[in-house]
Amino acid sequence: MTDADNALLRHLKLLRMLSIRRQGLTIREMSAEFQISEKTIRRDLEVFAAAGFAFKETTEDRGRKSFQLDACHATPQIGFTFDEALALCSVRHLLGPLSGTFLGTAARSAIKKVRACLGRDVTRYIEKMLPRLHATAIGNEDYARKADILDQLLVGMEDRRVVFITYQSQRATEPVTYDIHPYGITLHRGALYLVGKAVEHDEIRHWKVGRIEAAEVNVMQFTMPANFQLDQHLAGCFGIVHGQEDVHARIRFSKAVARQIAEATWHPSQIQTTQADGSLLAEFRLNSTVELKQWVLSFGLHAEVLEPKTLRAELVSELKQLLEEYETSVSAGTRQSRRAFKK
């Protein structure tokens, strides 16, 4: 890579950092981040200014100055058709989980600029339409308190830097801190999940972002596997849980829910076949059945697992335990009611 290429890459990264760091960056911090002299950083800022970028300067304690890219600097005027503007404005309903983070704030700011490009009549019509578009928020998580953590994770992904996270898993009683290589983030059922390499275990793992209590980017860099693709890595999951199995799952759905199943894409590998009695046979190729089991249970008696036999046995055992739990609860409640009646 030539010196010009290195400078261009540095400029792109520096501009991004200056746009997302809400507290701004000092000359010393930028110098340390890119491991170059403060004189070079000042020269870069002069290049940006000459190119038309504007910066906000904030004087901190003891006279330290921090710089932040001004979001109001001039940009080319972009035109939108009505349907394009309506589509972009309606996206705000999907930003619930990201509200309070710099991604959510940036998206809302972009939508405001889209509206500014429209005429008064078009804007008025869109405002009338938007309340009629709604996205449910059941199960969505709030990441407003995780804004700094998301910032650190995204910086680590972009710059391929090691990130130290403090994480408390669902089963753990205390949080644990360790270093990871962040590869990507995926949104699943209203929650964000980080995918990356757990250095200590030398394997790719998934972490629920809502359970990360702290994150800090380190100066150490890592090498991204050349053949890693986030969508391919998750292709065998029935959601987010990744396993090491190679499972051919076959599930029969009753006529009562067959249409509901047929109307949606549940997994890229799915094969759906309508049966003569109106039921539907769904087949999947997966690397884990953990989430598949939960999904099947949600349909109650309208779903029957045919394969694999191991999953069928798990469901039989779990349903027996559930039945026993309900029968015990009903019996205890009946006895308590009788005692209360006698009194």
The domain locations on the chain are: 3-69, 82-132, 144-226, 235-343
3-69 fold: Arc Repressor Mutant, subunit A (1.10.10)
**What is this structure's pTM?**
0.70
Query: Where does 235-343 sit in CATH, by number?
Result: 3.30.70
What's the pLDDT tens digit per position in 50-103? 777 777 888 876 677 888 877 554 444 556 666 677 777 777 666 666 776 767
Quote the Cα angle for 279-284-287, to 5°. Answer: 150
Same fold, 3-69 and 144-226: no
pLDDT, residue 198, reads 95
Q: What are phi and psi of 249, to 5 degrees?
A: -100, 135
What's the pLDDT tens digit per position in 197-247? 999 999 999 999 999 999 999 989 999 998 999 999 999 999 999 999 999
Is 144-226 CATH 2.60.120.620? no
What's the pLDDT tens digit per position in 5-61? 567 778 878 877 787 776 788 888 888 888 899 899 888 888 888 777 777 888 876
Query: What is the DSSP secondary-structure string of 16-83?
Result: HHHHH-TT-EEHHHHHHHHTS-HHHHHHHHHHHHHTT--EEEEE-GGG-EEEEE-TTS--------HH
pLDDT, residue 181, reads 97
**pLDDT beyond 50 at 116:** yes
